[in-house]
Structure 1
């Protein structure tokens, strides 16, 4: 059985705590917020920060340790002021980061300290270090509290810690050659889980299939997996299967010998040979035709292939990672993709969400990209997003994912006349796709159709129009859309991440 993670209470030592030193009254609150909490709840360890003189704190710590059996560790921090947000943030973030790296379960006592200290605890505990919150008061005693809102991570100055190389790679929508899992910038729980799963898969010699829309980071994940695997020092070869002319697929995959066909003036190696010993990443894998699928399956089963025009089998040792935006299970069901090949490549499966479903990441990426613009062009060094601009960014579906976000932000930064990018600047930078019936009614069913996504697209288009026509009155907007009531409209908007 795995060992349980130690549950640690973290807190500042406040003035009311120090005043309680030596108190043995029956009123638990006479003990001060910290001692009262430790008497009311059980923790495995206590981590305290203080900015008081040592001669005041040490007697309190001695008394507190006599009062409770829980191990207590206290650390003095230097603050020029107990209300300096920047200094408080730096100290508490560093402390929580160290505790989180040890795998501890964290709880924070909010009561001791200044309002600035309490605000920073909430900021960090709701964005960077998931934790439980406690408070202690004379009126309500000690209780665990629920903070019923989520914070937008653009208010966390963690973007300052991102290296310019990482941001440049994001702005270019390109996966770096030396990509590691740290290059996958996210705070979204779903993405963090995918990163953890990918790191596990990296250590195992199994084929991996990565699902995801264009721009969701499929190659970034593939390169990180390769670089974290035992094949890190060997080649990583990436190929977009959808960009290969059908008549050249075999040659590109398996190579050819001189004279094998018109134009084959010399021997040429294919991607399997180029990736020998390393990793072969086949993007848009679902676009391969059935005949090619058969030959690919044979290579994976037997570890050998035959170059075009060759007569001697060649051995190959590769780790295969495939990626596609298509639903291969549907393709298997309708007979356009081989079932045996699907189960051969889909051993480790990662389904990357689109940017619009990565709650908490949109603002982080927007600020990171804007920071990269400031570094690259002195004319943009003072540009920042207004609150209205951020809200407009949050409402966009970003079907092009990070690539679309980057280009839109760059256009708005270039067009912005002042230092603050407004909602109008963002609005002007967005592309309005023309409405065509062919977009919805003439899809190629043979390539798979996500009917629910088409319905969601209609909702994303008409809900804002209805709200505008009703001057923001949801009851009227719901009527215009043929919905029973405004609750139905709100539920649909929440599902589509529109509020």
Structure 2
């Protein structure tokens, strides 16, 4: 399939551009557009709207290339944080649109130019241009490598000790200080969790695998009035269906084959404390019914028992599933959902925790070094850039195991890009899972459509015995000719 990427030029609108337009002269932006061929122009501006409107009228009268503009509110044209947020948001959006990026460095303040270089050398593949009256329009080669991640401003950074969040075993004394972050969203979640810790309401924690759901649960328990009582954690997805009642509510001796003694269920084990039900969305509807009754009445009957017992348990649940979808589809009880979803925390994946990825990487490397001096390594610039670009669907657990492998593979004092590349697991995407493609890695939407068309056209032709008229009807197409046109467009051969 031919390359369908659009060539996009990105730039701030600068004072020289506006003044040049007022004089009827070519400024840096117009000069660059005339000197090169682009499919689209994306401009950021922080000038008054009336000045920019006049400039755009002039610019669009000189070129036929489509131009999009985005107004940005900056506290100052030299405020690095505001500039970074605006520039990064635009580049991130464009990188997900299958584009070839070019950045014009000349317009704007030195701070704007510095941020373009930082982003273009670390996070987004691009070409750099500069334009001046003296030198004209030039393609710029920046002869050095960088690896950097934006660190947002926060009022207070948590104690940067060895991060237990990166460990597969959450410490029993986990506290909110163990949740290391510089990300504003995560800082807000920590604050919300600290408020919930002082209450007795049920808490539901959403998040992908490895995002730290149990760490949050333990921190909530340890900051609550129940901190000196039991904290019991169980993975609901690992409970055998025929033993679910026994595991949750306990059983009496002789209640079933193999019940050779009385056994306390997790509710009884956690009595007075906190019960953490991980992968809560895996419970069957039948178990959900019985669980709801226990949560409503704080009373349960062990399997084989003849009388109820009272329990006092604070419930924290966690899941990677969207339970509201389960409610709509009928796989999860609506009344149970509203019972457990009082305090709700959505933990973001680390690929969305801007500012935290390299921080977490350094913490994990420090942890490895403390465990064994032979594992003390530094990361090369290339390795850091690979870390920043990888989607990390396994989140901190995947990051931890990848770093360990890379450190083991490395035969020098530094982990190279090659070492890290060898340590990464690149999970293949299921061809039939068209709704779960990773947009952060780029999606060839034309290929996706082509694969889908090919699959169903061939399947329908096989079903109709290669009768194109019937196949067209089954596919909802107007005629056999329409089907033929589709087959020609997507290169589908009739067997």
Shift of 1:173: 2.1
User: CA separation in 1, counterparts of 2:293 and 2:299?
Assistant: 8
- CA displacement 1:195-222 (0-9 Å, x = unmatched): 0000001001100000011100000000
Matched, 1:301 2:296: yes
Which residue matches 2:378? 384
Which residue matches 1:421? 415
CA contact (8 A) 1:153 1:364 kept: no
Using a 3 Å threshold, how does the CA distance of structure 1 residues 170 and 197 change in structure 2: closer, same or farther? Answer: closer
Matched, 1:248 2:243: yes
Matched, 1:196 2:191: yes
CA contact (8 A) 1:252 1:271 kept: yes
Which residue matches 2:348? 353
User: CA separation in 1, counterparts of 2:287 and 2:446?
Assistant: 52
- CA displacement 1:260-313 (0-9 Å, x = unmatched): 000111110000000000000000111111111111111111110000001111
Shift of 1:155: 13
CA contact (8 A) 2:205 2:347 kept: yes
User: CA separation in 2, counterparts of 1:315 and 1:409?
Assistant: 47
Shift of 1:414: 1.4
Matched, 1:366 2:350: no
User: CA separation in 2, counterparts of 1:338 and 1:360?
Assistant: 38
User: CA separation in 1, counterparts of 2:165 and 2:321?
Assistant: 24
CA contact (8 A) 1:306 1:314 kept: yes
SS class of match (1:399): coil
User: CA separation in 1, counterparts of 2:323 and 2:378?
Assistant: 42
Matched, 1:208 2:206: no
Matched, 1:410 2:404: yes
User: CA separation in 2, counterparts of 1:480 and 1:300?
Assistant: 49
Of 315, 318, 340, the residue aligned with 1:320 is: 315
Matched, 1:339 2:334: yes
Of 421, 429, 432, the residue aligned with 2:426 is: 432
CA contact (8 A) 2:275 2:316 kept: yes
User: CA separation in 2, counterparts of 1:210 and 1:318?
Assistant: 17
CA contact (8 A) 1:152 1:360 kept: yes
- CA displacement 1:225-278 (0-9 Å, x = unmatched): 000011011000001000000000000000000000001111100000000000
User: CA separation in 1, counterparts of 2:293 and 2:158?
Assistant: 50
Using a 3 Å threshold, how does the CA distance of structure 1 residues 435 and 343 change in structure 2: closer, same or farther? Answer: closer
User: CA separation in 2, counterparts of 1:352 and 1:155?
Assistant: 18
CA contact (8 A) 1:237 1:274 kept: yes
CA contact (8 A) 1:259 1:265 kept: yes
SS class of match (2:194): helix
Could you state the TM-score of these two structures normalised by the residue count of structure 2? 0.59
Which residue matches 1:179? 174
Using a 3 Å threshold, how does the CA distance of structure 1 residues 208 and 171 change in structure 2: closer, same or farther? Answer: closer
- CA displacement 1:316-362 (0-9 Å, x = unmatched): 00100001111000000011111000000000000111111111110
User: CA separation in 2, counterparts of 1:437 and 1:234?
Assistant: 49
- CA displacement 1:441-496 (0-9 Å, x = unmatched): 6xxxxxxxxx3xx1x41x44556xx8xxxxxxxxxxx99999xxxxxxxxxxxxxx
Using a 3 Å threshold, how does the CA distance of structure 1 residues 275 and 161 change in structure 2: closer, same or farther? Answer: closer
User: CA separation in 1, counterparts of 2:306 and 2:80?
Assistant: 68
Which residue matches 2:160? 162
User: CA separation in 1, counterparts of 2:300 and 2:361?
Assistant: 45
Matches within 5 A, 1:25-36: none
Matches within 5 A, 1:458-497: 459-462=439-442
User: CA separation in 1, counterparts of 2:264 and 2:446?
Assistant: 63
Structure 1 unpaired stretches of 5+: 1-106, 111-120, 128-144, 442-450, 467-477, 483-499
- CA displacement 1:179-201 (0-9 Å, x = unmatched): 00000111111111100000001
User: CA separation in 2, counterparts of 1:329 and 1:160?
Assistant: 34
Of 231, 234, 251, the residue aligned with 2:229 is: 234
Matches within 5 A, 1:146-161: 152=149
User: CA separation in 2, counterparts of 1:386 and 1:293?
Assistant: 50
Could you state the TM-score of these two structures normalised by the residue count of structure 1? 0.58
- RMSD in angstroms over aligned alpha carbons? 3.3
Shift of 1:415: 1.2
CA contact (8 A) 2:157 2:182 kept: no
User: CA separation in 2, counterparts of 1:406 and 1:262?
Assistant: 42
User: CA separation in 2, counterparts of 1:159 and 1:201?
Assistant: 21
Shift of 1:175: 1.2
Matched, 1:276 2:274: no
May I ask how many residue pairs the two structures share in their alignment?
A: 317
CA contact (8 A) 1:159 1:367 kept: no
Using a 3 Å threshold, how does the CA distance of structure 1 residues 480 and 299 change in structure 2: closer, same or farther? Answer: closer
Which residue matches 2:99? none
